Structure 1
Amino acid sequence: MALGNTVAQAPRLKRIDVHHHNFPSNVGKLYEHSPLGYKLPEENLPWSLEKSLQAMDELGIDIAVLSLPDGWPIAGKANQRSAEICKQYPGRFGFFASLPDLRNTEDALTELAHALDDLHANGISLVSSYGYGAEAKYIGDDAFDPIWTELDRRGALVFLHGAQTPSSTPYPHPFLGIPVTEVPNETYKAAAHLVVTGKKRRYPNVKIILSHLGGSTVWLAPRVAVLSAYMGSSLTPEEIIEDFNTFYFDTALATNETTLTAAETFVGHDRVLFGTDYCAVTPSMAAWYKEQLEQFYADKPDRLQDIMSGNALKLMPELANMSS
């Protein structure tokens, strides 16, 4: 049978952005008067649903999973707003629910149940630590065991973001503010804390996505394996590495040949998920990382499809019924 001049067109790659922030309207002022050393893009402020949709269209994103990057004092209102967005635009948005400060255990558990049972959040967004200075507690602290117990009982998905925590010294340069230098290391510290305390192993049903390709996790995990075991962790170096290998990683602000090669070696492509970090960055900034990712996997389209959407659908199968 003659096919004439008809050329089959490959289907467009489906993309699910698991790292997409919907900031409150006053976030620009909060950053402007903070010591973080980072200025949110003016074109993104104040955040609006229309701006997110425009950015998604520019980047070819079918579904964005909304979240806030820090623990939020008005978690309930933020979650309600995200749930309303998902209802308003079915097929374009999911969301990771915020919780109140985990040190307020009862409030956190109440909001967790409400977010998952009533608002139908796709998962829970947590930050690497709660509190400031000497009062701060990292995510694997025993005080948070009731939260992890409930997350484990539910087999919940957790999106873990590094806190905007200043170091003991000022950041080194105006071009190297806290979001550039400290946040990735906070993600690593949170992951390491969960591992060496045995919490990652104790709550195996919780699936945890580390933001920004895990920050410095991949590079420092071998350091933790031997030194933390020497310092008294009950786990062997091999067990520590094994538990690090059970995390998932999103690609936001982190993709190039070196980092993707390391992630492939450390956890495999089936634990890597596409993320942009909009609206903390512009669409053009996010596009630079997307292009790095697509170039790296140009000769492995099946792996690229897994990262762009397949792995997210395995963790959040409810998104499979959403269409753009």
Structure 2
Amino acid sequence: MTDPAEQLIDVHAHFVTPTYVEAAKVAGHLLPDGMTGYPSWSPAQHLELMDSTGIRTSVLSVSSPGTHFGDDRAARLLSRGLNEFATDVARDHPGRFGHFAALPLPDVDGALAEAVHALDVLGSDGVAVETNHGGVYLDDTRFDPLWTELDARGAVVFVHPTSPPCYEAVSQGRPRPMLEFPFESARAAADLIFGGVLRRHPRIQWVFTHGGGALPLLADRMELFRTVFGAGEADGPAVQEQLRRLWFDMAGTPFPHQIPVLVEAFGSERLLYGSDYCWTPAAGAVAQVASIDAAEQPSPRTWRALTTRNATRLLPGLHV
């Protein structure tokens, strides 16, 4: 595929390192989020997938369970090491990789320092956070200094789901990414709306994964509770209006149902491509791209061209 407009920009791509896996396992994450184990990853493996599926650039980030395993100092060191590693990968493969920096939340002081370092020194394309950090959700006022700094920069904040604090009671031993992750994304977006975070920090560019999870089906219900039942600011902007300001990637199972529903609810101007590799195995990522190419294409662009155009708007500094 030679047309750059048809080459995908993957905003939802992950990496792991032996140091990271070891730290997570020592902290007790032997079966992360109920999965069977950790994936393997290398730049060469990732580039092979990208070349076979027409992905021009992948923006790397650390997935759940994040980098904070109970000790602030250890989390700061682990985040810094991972961010430097990803920066080196991007430098060694010009135009092929970008990076959303890992932050050691819920250590807000450490996260603020790491965000500034990553954006100013390492040249990261944004930062990555989880839907909750040790049970602390994104509308918690403890996070306000971080959001204030990122808002002043108009930074990209990639929001990745993780296990809820009550997962033992609800997951029934199943992998949490199957059901809990989509609802975590919806909960985190609702928290940003009803906690006033989106209103107070309008310049942050929030990216939500997996087509917004359950959000397209819950937006009208959220608006009902805002206007009729007194949840949130009755005189504020509508829930749907606020959700249309978010960006959404199509990692997971985008077709035949999820992305058409998302586009119907929130439009396509902020729709992005995401593979979820390496936590989604290469075969799954290949099949997902095939489903995108086989789906009914939006007019006048293809899904590839549409999402790539949107990604270049979101990340104009991405070296592609």
Shorter-chain TM range is: 0.7 to 0.9
Q: Distance in 1 between matches of 2:236 and 2:196?
A: 13
Q: Which amino acid aligns with 1:179?
A: P
Change (3 A) 1:238 1:303: farther
Offset, 1:196? 0.9
1:52 aligns with 2:50: no
Q: Distance in 1 between matches of 2:305 and 2:3?
A: 15
* Contact preservation (8 Å) 2:244, 2:267: no
Q: Distance in 1 between matches of 2:316 and 2:230?
A: 41
* Contact preservation (8 Å) 2:226, 2:233: no
Which residue matches 1:215? 213
Q: Deviations along 1:199-227, whole A, 9 cap, x unmatched?
A: 11111100111011111111112121112
Offset, 1:298? 3.2
TM-score normalised to the size of structure 1?
A: 0.86
Q: 1:230-249 counterparts in 2 under 5 A?
A: 230-236=229-235, 239-249=238-248
Gaps of 5+ in 2: 68-74
Offset, 1:55? 1.6
Offset, 1:14? 1.2
Which residue matches 1:14? 7
* Contact preservation (8 Å) 1:19, 1:275: yes
Q: Which amino acid aligns with 2:118?
A: A
Q: Which amino acid aligns with 2:214?
A: S
Gaps of 5+ in 1: 1-8
* Contact preservation (8 Å) 2:208, 2:249: yes
* Contact preservation (8 Å) 2:7, 2:305: no
Stretch moving more, 240-249 or 91-100: 240-249
Change (3 A) 1:171 1:204: same
* Contact preservation (8 Å) 1:270, 1:306: no
Q: Which amino acid aligns with 2:125?
A: N
Q: Distance in 2 between matches of 1:94 and 1:226?
A: 39
Change (3 A) 1:51 1:233: same
Offset, 1:145? 0.7
Task: Report the count of equivalent residues.
Answer: 303
Which residue matches 1:171? 171
Which residue matches 1:33? 30
Offset, 1:158? 0.9
Q: Distance in 2 between matches of 1:57 and 1:10?
A: 12
Q: Which amino acid aligns with 1:246?
A: R
Q: 1:147-186 counterparts in 2 under 5 A?
A: 147-165=146-164, 166-172=166-172, 176-186=174-184
Which residue matches 1:5? none
Q: Structure 2 residue aligned with 1:101, among 102, 105, 114?
A: 105
TM-score normalised to the size of structure 2?
A: 0.87
Change (3 A) 1:27 1:58: farther
Q: Distance in 1 between matches of 2:63 and 2:2?
A: 36
Runs of 4+ with >6 A deviation? none
* Contact preservation (8 Å) 1:32, 1:39: no
Secondary structure of 1:62 counterpart: strand
1:298 aligns with 2:273: no
Q: 1:1-324 counterparts in 2 under 5 A?
A: 11=3, 13-25=6-18, 27=21, 30=25, 33-34=30-31, 36-40=33-37, 44-45=39-40, 47-70=41-64, 71-72=66-67, 73=75, 74-102=78-106, 104-131=107-134, 136-165=135-164, 166-172=166-172, 176-229=174-227, 230-236=229-235, 239-298=238-297, 300=299, 302-319=301-318, 321-322=319-320
Change (3 A) 1:208 1:299: closer
* Contact preservation (8 Å) 1:14, 1:308: no
Q: Distance in 1 between matches of 2:213 and 2:253?
A: 8
Larger gyration radius, structure 1 or structure 2: 1
Offset, 1:265? 1.2
Q: Which amino acid aligns with 1:93?
A: F
Q: What RMSD over aligned residues (CA atoms) do the two structures have, in Å?
A: 2.3
Q: Distance in 2 between matches of 1:116 and 1:251?
A: 25
Offset, 1:270? 1.5
Q: Distance in 2 between matches of 1:10 and 1:56?
A: 14
Offset, 1:40? 4.6
Stretch moving more, 279-288 or 138-147: 279-288
Secondary structure of 1:253 counterpart: coil
Q: Distance in 2 between matches of 1:153 and 1:88?
A: 30
Q: Which amino acid aligns with 2:87?
A: A
Identity level (%): 30
Q: Which amino acid aligns with 1:33?
A: L
Q: Distance in 2 between matches of 1:299 and 1:147?
A: 37
Change (3 A) 1:218 1:299: closer
Q: Distance in 1 between matches of 2:200 and 2:82?
A: 30
Q: Distance in 1 between matches of 2:17 and 2:192?
A: 30
